[in-house]
Amino acid sequence: MTLFGELYFFVCAGVLLIPALILGCLQKPLKYYGLVLSVAFILLALKDEPAELFYMMCYLAYQLVLINIFLRLRSEKGARKGIFRIFILLSLAPLVIYKIAGLFALSILGFMGISYMTFKALQVIIEIEDGLIRECDCFDLIYFLIFFPTVLSGPIDRSRRFAADLDNARPREEYLELVGAGLFKICQGLVYKFVLAQAVFQAITYLGMEGGLLSNVIYLYSYGLYLFFDFAGYSLMAIGTGYILGVVTPENFREPFLSVDIRDFWDRWHITLSHWFRDFVFSRFMMASIRGRWFKSKLTGASLGFMINMLLMGLWHGLTASYVLYGLYHGLLLALTEIYQKKSKFYKKHKKDRWYLVASWFVTFNLVMFGFFIFSGRLLEIIW
C-alpha cells in the first residue's frame, strides 16, 4: 500500500480515522490512538517489504537510544562541542550509509521515510544541545518519528510543537473546526495530486518527451508545475489528516510561483525543509563565523553560508550530479541575491515599485523553472 497514493489507502484511512473523530468529539486524548494508527499504516505499507520493516525498527531503536544517551551526557557534563558533533554524525550515519549504498544499487538501511525521520532526530539532538529539550518522553519521540501522515515526505514538524499538540485537549467546537479545515485540505490535495498533476504529466508525456528545442522548453515549464501539484497535493493531504488526529502540521507551500526573488521562493516552497536548513545549518554557520571572525564581512559569510546550505540540501535529495548541481545553482542564486540586495542602490530605490516587482517576479519564475529542469536530470541528459 502506498500512503496517499492509491484507493486502498484512502478506504483504510476513511475507516480507521472514524475512531479518532469520535475521540476528538468526546474531548479525549488522540495521541495513543494516533500512535496505534501510525503503526498500523506502516505495517500495511511495508507488509510486502520485511527487510524495510526490519531496517525501520532497528533505526527507531538506534535513534531512541542515541537521543537518550546524549540527553544524559548533556545533563551531566554540560555542553561539549566534541560530544555534540559525534552524536550528530552518529544520528546522520544511517542516512549517509543508505545514500552511498544507493550509488552501488544497494538498499542497505533503505526504508520508507528514512530521510524525514533523520531530519526529526537531528533536530531533537540539536535542541538538546541548545538546552531547549531537557527530558525525553519515549512515547512522544517514537510517535513524532513515525507519525504516518508525514513519515513519507513531510512536512517536517518540530518536536516541541508536535508534543504540545499531543497534550492539547481541544474543546469539541475547536476540534470540529480543525476537522473541517483538514477535510478541505484533503480534498484540495486530491485535486492537486490526482487531477492537476496528472494533467500536467500527460502534457509532458505527449508534448515534452521528443527531445527537440520546443519539447525541452515545454518540459522545462511543465515539470516544475507537475512537481508543485504532485508534492503540494501530498502535503495538503498529510496536513489535513494530521488535523483530524489533532496535530496542526505546519504548512509546506505558500503560492511559490508568486515569489519576487529567490529568498522569497524558499520562504514559499517546501517551507518546512528550507526553514529546517535555515535554522539548523545556515544560522548556526553564520553564528559560528561571526564569533570566530572567519570573514572580513558578514556578506561574505552569508554568501558562503548559502552555498554550503543549498549544497547540503542538494546532497540530501541524492548523491547524483543533477541534485548536486541543483543545490549549487540555488546556493549561487541566493548568494547573488544577498549581494545585490545589500549593495545595489538601484534595488533599494525601486524595490517597492510595481514595475520592479513584476520584472523581479518574471525573472524569479524563470530561474526557478530552470532550477527544476536541472533537478529533473534533463539538463545533464542534453549536455551528455
Catalytic center residues? 317
Count of C-beta atoms within a 10 Å radius of residue 211: 11
Which uninterrupted H or E stretch holds 214? Answer: helix 213-244
Count of C-beta atoms within a 10 Å radius of residue 209: 12
Q: What one-character-per-residue DSSP string does 100-153 give?
A: HHHHTT--TT--TTHHHHHHHHHHHHHHHHTTS-----HHHHHHHHH-TTTTTT
Q: Which residue has the cell 492539547?
A: 168
3-class secondary structure, 366? helix
Count of C-beta atoms within a 10 Å radius of residue 191: 13
In the chain, DSSP assigns E strands to none
Instruction: Kindly tell me the sign of the dihedral angle through the C-alpha atoms of 299, 305, 308, 310.
Output: negative
Distance CA 21, CA 17 (A): 6
First to last CA, the chain: 37
Count of C-beta atoms within a 10 Å radius of residue 361: 16
Which uninterrupted H or E stretch holds 304? Answer: helix 298-317
